[in-house]
Amino acid sequence: MTLKKLSELHKLLDNKPFKRLVLAAAHDSQSLGAVLKAAADRIVQPVLIGDEKEIRRLAGEANQNIEGIKIINEHDVEKTSEIAVKMVHNREADVLMKGKVGTSTLLKHILDKNWGLRTGNLLSHFAIFEVKTYHKLIAVTDVAMNIAPNLREKISIINNSVSCLNMLGIDMPKVAVLGAVEMVNESMQATLDAALLSKMNQRDQIKNCIIDGPLAFDNAISLESAIHKGIKSEVAGDTDLLLMPDIEVGNVLYKSLVFFAKAKVASVILGAAAPIVLTSRSDSEQAKYDSLLLAAATAK
Ligand code: COD
């Protein structure tokens, strides 16, 4: 089954046993709302770590049932992250989710050498969007974890994303490596990396996808624009995955899609011992719920 809309994410979990999820700093209305909805839908069995009184107040305020759900009362936000990460490390949970805690605080624990969630792979952020003006779902990476990935890191980011897209039913995803222009310019590192990644893909050094680049954003998503510029490309206008040159470009695109284009989004950190839901404060409860489904679907 190829996923066409984010509202179909639940189909990936149908008839599968529920996943154990741990929410760090659970006293956050939107993360808590998303988790309790997923618990009511029998998709996850959560453990909530945070200020218990506040968690109960927020659940009551939203009329959500919290009966039978395990809560670990912990007021220190830093400690909630440590306990949550250790639970995943010890295989007591299948999915980690961020609540009211800073991204860097949680990432620090995730990357802890002794009890973090490292696997030897690069961890990377993967976001998948439903945009009204595009003919299929489109993924964007990395907009939130790797700041300025080098060539080697970009290969890992592509591999992480391709595995996730395969799981979403896209067998041979088309990957556009973005630059400001579609010609190689020796002064623009993104275009040099893009050309190398494309050649490595042609030589089967990066498998299970079709890579082309450099492509500017317009040729990546619009065939008309590519034809207009005389670009012949299997990827142009039909991209499944946009590889960002760095976190700034990625983050601005992510937020432009959400705020200007009103796109729907689900996102997850891949490459760790377990999937991690690391949505930002500005993400809606629906985006957190969809991200949770995506993470649960990728969990072993
Ligand atoms: N995957 C695996 N291991 C990693 C990764 C990764 N993506 N990043 C760092 N590591 C390992 C390194 O190999 C090293 O052993 C250790 O972690 C520390 O590495 P540093 O010193 O390069 O990294 P830090 O601790 O300075 O920073 C790592 C962060 C992930 C915190 C940093 O890259 C970061 O701040 N990213 C942006 C996070 C963010 O603010 N996102 C919000 C956007 S909404």
Nearest CA owner, ligand 1 atom 41:
144
Q: Please report, in angstroms and rounded to a whole number, the separation of the first and last CA atoms in the chain.
A: 19
Give the other-Cβ count within 10 Å of 11's Cβ: 13
Give ligand 1 pocket residues (Cβ under 6 A). 103-104, 107, 111, 118, 122-123, 144-147, 251, 280
Query: What is the DSSP pairing of strand 138-141 with strand 124-130?
Result: antiparallel
What's the pLDDT score for residue 147? 97
Helices and strands, counts by H and E, the chain: 10, 11
Atom of ligand 1 nearest to the CA of 271: 1
Atom of ligand 1 nearest to the CA of 153: 7
| Ligand 1 centroid distance, CA of 123 (Å) | 9
What's the pLDDT score for residue 17? 87
Token match 């959400």: residue? 258
Give the sheet arrangement for strand 95-98, strand by strand.
70-73, 44-50, 19-24, 95-98, 276-277, 264-270, 124-130, 138-141, 241-243, 174-178, 210-215
Q: What's CA 281's distance to the chain center, in Å?
A: 15
Query: Residue 17 gets which letter from DSSP?
Result: P
What's the pLDDT score for residue 146? 97
Low-confidence ranges of the chain (pLDDT < 70): none
Integer CA distances (angstroms), 231 to 74, 193, 215, in order = 57, 19, 9
| Ligand 1 centroid distance, CA of 243 (Å) | 18
| Sign for the pseudo-dihedral over CA of 99, 272, 167, 254 | positive
Which of 111, 121, 154, 255 is the best mutation target for the ligand 1 pocket, counting ligand atoms within 8 Å of the beta carbon and taking the most?
Answer: 111
| Ligand 1 centroid distance, CA of 31 (Å) | 23
Token pair belonging to 77: 């936000």
Q: Do the beta carbons of residue 21 and residue 42 sit within 8 Å?
A: no
SS3 category, 196? helix
Residue 44 half-sphere exposure, CB side, CA atoms within 13 Å?
31
**Angstrom distance (rounded) from CA 38 to CA 7:** 13
